[in-house]
A and B are shown apart, each in its own frame.
Chain A
Amino acid sequence: MRLTRRDALAVLAGLGVTGGAVSLTRFDPPTAESTDERGDSSGEDGADGDDAPPTAVRETMVAAGEVVFPSAAEGVSEFVETYVVGRARDDARRDAMVDAATELDDVARDWEGAAFADLPAGDRDRLLRELGVDTADPVQDGTLSERLRFHVVNELLYAFYASPTGGRLVGIENPIGHPGGTESYRRATMDAPGELPDSGGEHDG
């Protein structure tokens, strides 16, 4: 399944991060559709804007995404870049994410003699596990493994599984955190938009 920029923008909109000057108020909630429209014009600006994390950090995050996302995911690079750039609109998050990704890269260079992004996927996976990131608690200002869990791994897992496409991969097209409307809960399957039960009349078996 292919992740898109639109997926990343949908997750960002769910988090209240929207492009450019568009401000979404509490009473004007985003939808996947409105997000797409708004994001298309503004997301590009963001990618080139001053607050975008350095290229090396974006590459490190993409490389981590390729490891923590399931192998069925395609379009990881565009998805992660869009998400990371959008997330960086929050200064505190941006700095912490940049620091964590940079530290991860430093460890890769020390231990493996190569940038994290240049390591084969299997080595990236092993490195993260050797650092204990898989079992670490996510703590914003904790130990290195705790910070990597919070600012790198959980940031990416959140982006993936709260997005409609990532959710769909495990059976839910409108995951918690995604404002995907009030139709999906009535459908019998992900793929049958026409099948809406009327008054509980469907029979089991």
Chain B
Amino acid sequence: MDRSPVSDADVCVVGAGPAGGIVAHRLAESGASVVVLEAGPRFDGDRREQLEQHIRPGLGGPWEMGGPRDAFSSSGDSFYPLNAARVKGVGGSTLHWQGMVMRLHERDFELDSRHGVGADWPIGYDDLRPYYAAAERELGVAGAADNPYAPPREEPHPLPAFRPSHSDSIFAAACERLGIDMHSVGNARNSEPYDGRSSCVGYGTCKPVCPSGAKYTAESHVEKAEAAGARVIDRARVRRLDHDETGERVVAAAYTTPDGETHRQEATQFVLACGGVENVRLLLLSDSDRYPDGLANSSGAVGRYFMDHLFAGAGGRLDRPTRQNHVGFNTSECHQFYDDAEPVNGLKLEFLNYAGPSPVIDALHADTWGDDLRDQLDESYGTHISMGALVEQLPREDNYVGLDRATTDDLGDPVPEIHWSVDEQTEAALSRANGIQTRVLDELGIEDRWTVGPDETGPAYHHMGTTRMGDDPDESVVDAECRAHDLDNLWISGSSVFPTGGAMNPTLTIAALSVRLAESLRAALG
């Protein structure tokens, strides 16, 4: 494949996940000449190979993450498993993602004014509201208007919600007695055929692969961008952005292709959409005399305020069938406690449809077969039930993404360093989530149970906050339009611009901001 640069590009987008794909599609459709540079490959072909890779041990991971290209360091009190938390390829991390999508609440945009913690966004929920609706159409969200805690919306979701699962109905009775409200989950997954993709057929392997195409991946936006004339160059790793003499404009993205060649892609406008970790790495690698601490980093905020959502969970076994692992997604959640202030961190509860082991996966790992194995599977499958929760982590300067200059990747570039710790306030919120979960499990009469709380928690793989948005150039990296304060033609798309992360999965907000960014960028192109 020809991986040489495009001449006369209006826009160069770096990264082909949802943040880059949506911007590229919108701009190409409006007539701009767009080139997308993507570090990873295109995963063409039949997704059922990846399905088998996921289910059968001994075949390697489906998305080829973790080699020398993806080296990283983790410092800080909590280990950050970066390569479980992202995918490099056309589609980005949505190749692997779960596909739960919901809007942030009003309070997420004004946490400082309301509660004196975190930061305010320079925009409010109302500014983003029409873009949320557009994002729901872009991703094809199945949902219902049955969530009394969701922020206001005028129009229905583009697709009907998935019906509640049998295990939701088990929870429903207990939750009703406890006054805990259950409602549907927004799913970027077709409940009916939509946008040229089939409806869900129940493979049950959504994360990490949906072989039917029912789960949204950003491949669809990349393909639409190409149909509208964009050029997409895969396996093109951008290693540096160069600016002009004034330091006010980016002039080129230097990228290396698999043959070892390095090219320079010039363009009028540049969009950085490499995800919350690699956005930072690229800016830091692009330091210069004018920007000794990294490109667009006069504020010193690049890489700071790294946030993720934390997982809390609890589960156990019932004395009757819970019907888990038929589908790989959830149908019910609870946002009732999201806006509470004690502790202030947002939290949402999930009712899992994939609690406990799947017989086929267990069988392939078992140390026996025949009737022994059948007995083992009879015992292990069928009666597990569990709840999850995501908990908000407030922005803290000392959680950061930096460069580990002592360690390099296969091209000789310093790898990203994730310095991440979970503070006491977040731990308190995790304990609170566990407390609610325990009440539900008590109500169900589950005595023997497991809990994932503050001591065992891990990240939900949502990288946020590292190139935060704000009005003050001394404290933030991009403005309310997602344009860098320091450079006129550098835009940043993705959750790295979130000043706070709430506790809702981020990608719908990423998509809404991307649609909005594309509009502003279109205007800047004239």
Contact = CB atoms under 8 A, between A and B. Distances in A.
Interface in B234-276: none
30 contacts: A14-B211, A15-B48, A15-B51, A16-B211, A27-B198, A29-B201, A29-B212, A68-B373, A69-B369, A125-B370, A139-B58, A157-B364, A158-B364, A174-B202, A174-B326, A176-B325, A177-B55, A179-B202, A182-B191, A182-B199, A184-B202, A185-B165, A185-B323, A185-B326, A185-B327, A186-B165, A200-B169, A200-B182, A202-B169, A202-B170
Interface residues of A, number: 60
Interface stretch (A51-59, A110-118, A130-138): A130-138
A157 B172 contact: no
A170 B381 contact: yes
A30 B166 CA distance: 25
A153 B57 CA distance: 12
A188 B51 contact: no
A154 B46 CA distance: 22
Interface residues of B, number: 66
Interface class of chain B by DSSP? loop
B147 to A, nearest CB: 13
Contacts, number: 198
B201 A68 contact: no
B374 A72 contact: yes
Contacts of A8: none
Contacts of B200: 182
Interface class of chain A by DSSP? loop
Contact of A27 (B165, B213, B371): B213
B169 A197 contact: yes
A175 B360 contact: yes
Contact of A175 (B182, B213, B358, B373): B358
Contact of A186 (B163, B204, B377, B382): B163
A2 interface: no
B326 A134 contact: no
B171 A200 contact: yes
B204 A171 contact: no
Contact of A177 (B166, B197, B205): B205
A161 B58 contact: no
B321 A171 contact: yes
A157 B377 CA distance: 12
Interface in B38-69: 46-49, 51-52, 55-59
A202 to B, nearest CB: 4
B363 interface: yes
B444 interface: yes
B361 interface: yes
